[in-house]
Each structure stands twice: as C-alpha cells, then as structure tokens.
C-alpha cells in the first residue's frame, strides 16, 4: 500500500456533528488534479474537478466484501447469461453515501515520499451498524477508486508526433460511485482512500499559542464553581449498551446520562442524591467492561433536559421485570435435572395439609377452590400469550419472503422442466439430422461405383466423421489418380462404354454432378 503524507498547506476544518450511532462519518480522497497524466494515462485539471464536484453530494459509496479475506476487493462485475443474452452485472453493494451538504476541498499530499499531488477531498457516511464489515474502513482505512458515468463522459485523446493516442483528457464527467478497494488492490490515484475523519489545521505564526491559551481559559471557565461539563455519548434506551449498563447498576444506581471525556466513556449514575462516575469500555468483541467502582463527581450539575426520559426508562424497566418473571415461571415449570421426578401437585398439597392445623384445612377447602380455578385460568392465558409471541405467520416480512421464495421455487421448477423438454427435442432433431446426413453420404459413396472397396475403405470407416464435401473430394481425388473411365449405364454392353472427358471438353448437359467435381479436382491437380 502506498504512503501518503500530508503537507503543510492550508486546509478546511471539518466540523463533525454527532448523528445516528448506526452510521459513521468518513473522509474521502477522491482523486488528484493537475495538467500531467495520472497512472491511468488520463488528465483531470483542477477546473474540471471543480465541475465534477457538483455530482459528489449523495454519491453512493460502494464495495464488494470478501469474507474469506476479511477485506474488500475491486470493482466486481459478473457476466450473467440468461434467455440467450449476455449481461454484465455490478455485484458491489452500497455501504454509504457522500453527505448531501458535504464540504469539498483541495489538499496537497506527498505520495510515497516523492510525488506531490493535490487531492480533491470530501466527507460522507458509512452504515457501520447495518454492515459491520465496513467498520474496518473507519478503523484501518481502505483504498478508493472513483467511477465515472460513461453516458456523461466528455473526453478526447491527445496525439503524439506519430499521431498515436497519448493521453486521455477529461473535459466533463459525472461521478457515479466511489468504490472501496482492498489493501491489495491498487487505485488509479495512489494515495486515494477512505478513512475516519481527521481534524487538521495549518498554523500561522503565534496561532498555536493563541489556541492553547484559549483552550486553557475555556477549561477554567467550564470548571469555575466546581461545575463539570461533559460531552454526551449517543445511547438509546433499550440498545445493547443501555442493556449492559442497566443490568450492571440495577438496584444500586439510577442512570442520569452517558458521556465521554476525550477517549474515555463513562456513565453518570445517581444514588442518595449524589452523582457518581462509572467508567466503561467496549472491547473488539462488543463486550462492555465496567470499572470496579464508581467515583463521586464533585459539584455536578445535571442538564436541564435529561438524556433519558422518565417514561422511556419506566417502560423499559417494566418490560425487563415482566421478562424476568416469565423466565422464572418457565424455569419453575421445567423438571429438575437430578433424575428424580418432581413431586406431584396433589402430593405436595397433601403434605402441606398434614402440616397445617385442622382449622386451616377447613378454611382452605372452603375458600381456595375458586381462587385456584382463577389462578389456573390465568396461567393458561399466559402460556397461550407466550406461544403467540413466536408465531412466524403473523410477521409480515416472513410471510412476504415465504411467498417470494415459493414463487421463485415454482419459476425455477418450470424453467428446469422447459430446459429438459428442449433438450429432448434437440436430441431427437440431432438424431434425425444425423440420419439424413448419413444417408446422403452413403448415396455419395455409392455413386463412385467405379472405385474398389479398398479405395473407399477410408471414407466408409470415417463416414460419421467426414462431411459430405470431404467424402466427395477424397473420392474424386482417387478417381483422378487412378485415371479411371466412367460407365454410367450398367445396361449398355461392355464394348460400348460411356465415358466423360476429365478435361471438361464437350457439352456438360447430362453430366453427373460428381463428374463435374472430379473435373474440378483434376484441373487443380
């Protein structure tokens, strides 16, 4: 993979705004510009690139991921043969898009420590939550290749002194796709890639010191009076991170917010009117690991608008409690694993009755019968409701996919049946055709009656291999070489044979076709 080192030149700051946690922002080096050709022997000037930049907003970011390699590949295309037609299909998948309000800028880089190139750059979004494989683009970076729309391409070839094509000069084009490439796949523009966003500045004299001073003053201002201000981390009630956090602090703390301090993520939790900081991290497998203890946050002032509404938290807690109760109830209904049968309900009740005083037995016999019936009905209803939760037929996506699969299966079976029918017809026609051709060949061989069986041995042995023309030509050559005379009338006396001049002299009326063929061969020999 080529090296690409940023140069000390003015660039535009990228302001990163938190958004949906299922998508990730990225930065794209689209192509470099100049008056000299790139590695594809094409030329894109800076003025042309500025016009092409108008097609970047909304442009799809595509790729083809190879699970075996654990990386992306090239512009993958396949040849689809169907209905007797050849079609080229693109097998890449959209993994994101260029921001509709994307910033586009030019920035210089030093590629491979030698070549200085000015790249056109932009920003986009990747669906890392939907397609986890594109997370490697954010973590490690990938090569990138720009695709142009052929229908809108306006370009021409420059010619050398010998009037041969030299460079392909692009005058106008629309960028149709930005394709993610694997590490092993070379892009046209050697430093072109897709990476996580980078925040970069070009400092003038004294500017760096000013920034440091301003940051120090801002820190003092934010911490004045003991108040702490943190950046909120995007978490939704009910997602994986929330589940892990809630399970960890349940019964001990309430969850105020989830924040981050630089690289460190933490939860602000409450207990006894105090605020605590509970640090955590997420490993590569997605497992959340919490600190051993939560530490008190001195002087913390909560935001006016809470990160998590009380209604959503209460609803989540209610669902979690009900789920836990259902699991415990289901566990109780299962038989024990010690190999012993659980005591029957009647036996258990009988043993309990023996332990109870007589007056309690009478009371229960008279009052609990209706309660037991109601309780049994309620349990039956719960079981019925529980079973209904897992009825796939009620899921719209499942029914639609099932119907589509059935239709595809029927179409496939019909196609197979039609193919088999056509193959049978083809076999019959082929057999019929071969029979006709063989009859014609046998007739041709028989017409050369003046040749011996030894002369015709080769064509007879290869009658299925030789064509009709091959047989005619071979037998004609043998006739010429043997200088045979031809008697076409077997009923005429042997002392008056009918002969034909192989030199072609005389009238051709009534001369058989094979004789004409022999004349033609003789003339060539």
Tell which residue, 108, 153, 149, 104, has the closest CA to residue 124.
Answer: 104
Alpha-helical regions (H) of 192-309:
207-222, 240-249
Model pLDDT, residue 57: 93
Tokens representing residue 169 in the block:
């000069």
Structure confidence at residue 195 (pLDDT) = 92
The Cα angle at residue 225 between residues 219 and 231, in degrees rounded to 5? 45
CB 255 within 8 A of CB 266: no
Neighbours of 479 (CB within 10 A): 23
Separation in Å, CA 450 to CA 445, 453, 485, 487? 10, 10, 8, 8
Q: Are 214 and 95 in contact (CB under 8 A)?
A: no
How far apart (Å, rounded) are the C-alpha atoms in residues 428 and 415? 20
Largest Cα span, the chain: 146
**Are the C-beta atoms of residues 282 and 288 closer than 8 Å to each other?**
yes
Residue 10, pLDDT score = 77
Beta bridge partners of 170: 155
- Cβ proximity of 62 and 91 under 8 Å: no
Q: Which of 96, 90, 97, 98 is nearest to 134 (CA)?
A: 96
Q: What is the rounded distance in angstroms from the CA atom of residue 276 to the CA atom of residue 273? A: 10
- d(C-alpha 236, C-alpha 269), whole Å: 16
Round to whole Å and give the CA distance between 136 and 128: 9
pLDDT in tens, 392-414: 777 777 888 888 888 998 999 99
E strands in 129-174:
142-148, 154-159, 165-172
Residues of the chain with pLDDT under 50: 200-204, 225-226, 356-364, 366, 387-388, 488-496
Question: Helical H runs in 228-357?
Answer: 240-249, 310-333, 345-355
pLDDT confidence of residue 394: 72
Long-range contacts of 287-290 (CB under 8 A, 24+ apart): 288/241, 288/244, 288/245, 288/248, 290/248
Q: What is the model's pTM?
A: 0.37
Angstrom distance (rounded) from CA 390 to CA 385: 9
The three-state DSSP-derived secondary structure of 360-392 is HHHHHHHHHHHHHHHHHHHHHHHHHHHHHCCCH
- Between CA 519 and CA 521 the distance in angstroms is 5
pLDDT tens per residue, range 72-99: 988 776 666 566 665 667 788 899 999 8
pLDDT value, residue 77: 67
What distance in Å separates the CA atoms of residue 430 and residue 80, rounded to the nearest whole number? Answer: 28
Q: What is the pLDDT of residue 366?
A: 47
Give the model's pLDDT for residue 363: 45
Give the C-alpha separation, 513 to 443, whole Å. Answer: 13
Instruction: Convert the pLDDT of each residue in 10-33 to its tens digit.
Output: 776 656 555 678 889 999 999 999
Q: Which two tokens stand for residue 525?
A: 């020999």
Q: Given the structure tokens 């796709």, which residue do they identify?
A: 177
Q: How far apart are CA 386 and CA 469, in angstroms?
A: 81
Q: How many CB atoms lie within 10 A of CB 372?
A: 11
Residue whose structure tokens are 């349990």: 379
């Amino acid at each position: 993979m080529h090296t690409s080192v940023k140069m000390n030149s003015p660039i535009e700051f990228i302001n990163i705004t938190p958004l949906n946690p299922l998508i990730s922002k990225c930065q794209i080096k689209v192509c470099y510009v100049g008056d000299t050709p790139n590695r594809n022997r094409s030329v894109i000037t800076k003025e042309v690139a500025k016009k092409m930049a108008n097609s970047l907003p909304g442009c799809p970011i595509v790729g083809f991921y190879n699970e075996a390699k654990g990386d992306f590949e090239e512009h993958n295309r396949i040849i689809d043969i169907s209905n007797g037609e050849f079609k080229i299909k693109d097998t890449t998948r959209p993994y994101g898009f260029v921001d509709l309000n994307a910033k586009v800028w030019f920035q210089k880089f030093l590629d491979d420590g030698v070549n200085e190139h000015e790249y056109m750059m932009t920003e986009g979004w990747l669906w890392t939550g939907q397609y986890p494989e594109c997370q490697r683009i954010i973590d490690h970076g990938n090569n990138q290749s720009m695709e142009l729309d052929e229908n809108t391409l306006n370009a021409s070839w420059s010619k050398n002194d010998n009037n041969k094509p030299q460079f392909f000069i692009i005058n106008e084009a629309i960028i149709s796709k930005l394709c993610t490439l694997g590490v092993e796949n070379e892009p046209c523009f050697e430093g072109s890639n897709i990476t996580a966003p980078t925040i970069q500045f070009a400092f003038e004299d004294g500017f760096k010191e000013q920034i440091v001073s301003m940051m120090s003053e801002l820190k003092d201002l934010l911490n004045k009076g003991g108040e702490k201000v943190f950046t909120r981390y995007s978490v939704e009630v009910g997602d994986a991170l929330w589940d892990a956090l809630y399970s960890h602090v349940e019964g001990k703390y309430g969850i105020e917010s989830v924040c981050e301090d630089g690289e460190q993520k933490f939860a602000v939790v409450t207990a006894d009117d105090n605020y605590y900081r509970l640090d955590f991290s997420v490993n590569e497998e997605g497992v959340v690991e919490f600190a051993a203890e939560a530490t008190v946050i001195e002087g913390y002032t909560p935001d006016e608008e809470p990160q998590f509404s009380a209604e959503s938290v209460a609803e989540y807690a209610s669902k979690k409690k009900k789920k836990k109760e259902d699991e415990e109830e289901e566990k109780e209904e299962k038989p024990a694993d010690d190999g012993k049968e659980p005591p029957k309900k009647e036996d258990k009740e009988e043993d309990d009755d023996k332990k109870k005083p007589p007056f309690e037995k009478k009371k229960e016999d008279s009052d609990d019968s209706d309660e037991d019936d109601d309780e049994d009905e309620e349990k039956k209803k719960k079981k019925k409701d529980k079973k209904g939760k897992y009825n796939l037929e009620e899921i719209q996506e499942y029914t639609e996919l099932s119907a589509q699969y059935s239709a595809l299966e029927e179409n496939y079976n019909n196609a197979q049946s039609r193919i088999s029918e056509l193959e049978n017809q083809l076999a019959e026609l082929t057999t019929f055709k071969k029979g006709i051709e063989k009859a014609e060949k046998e007739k041709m061989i028989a017409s050369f009656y003046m040749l011996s069986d030894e002369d015709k041995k080769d064509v007879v042995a290869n009658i299925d291999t030789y064509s009709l023309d091959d047989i005619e030509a071979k037998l004609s050559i043998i006739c010429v070489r043997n200088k045979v005379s031809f008697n076409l009338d077997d009923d005429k006396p042997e002392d008056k044979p009918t002969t034909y001049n192989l030199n072609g002299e005389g009238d051709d009326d009534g001369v058989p076709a094979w004789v004409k063929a022999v004349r033609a061969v003789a003339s060539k020999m």
